[in-house]
Amino acid sequence: MRVTANQGDTVDQICQRHYGRTAGITEQVYAANPGLADLGPILPLGTAVTLPPLPTQPAGSDRQLVNLWD
């Protein structure tokens, strides 16, 4: 999917808006868009950004949460 950056958009904002999160996705977006990081933290208005599909986790591969404090 391709989206166009709005005024003042960052890659994190685009990921949050389209995926609902940024963790582990921002890096994938940069990998799918060579040279995007060279544009700086705030993307120029109208910059085309390719959004890769989210990887799907196989059934039963849920991550176990670790609680550091009781």
How confident is the model over 51-55, as a mean pLDDT? 87
Which residue carries 């991550």 as its tokens?
Answer: 63
Burial class (CB in 10 A: 0-12, 13-18, 19+), 66: exposed
- pLDDT value, residue 22: 92
- CA dist 21 and 12 (Å) reads 8
Residue boundaries of the structural domains of the chain: 2-50
Mean pLDDT computed over every residue of the chain? 88
- If you count DSSP H runs as helices and E runs as strands, how many of each does the chain have, helices first? 2, 2
Candidates 28, 22, 36; CA nearest to 53 is 28
| Confidence check: pLDDT of 37 > 90 | yes
- What does the angle CA 62 – CA 26 – CA 63 come to, to the nearest 5 degrees? 10
pTM: predicted TM-score of the whole model, two decimal places: 0.76
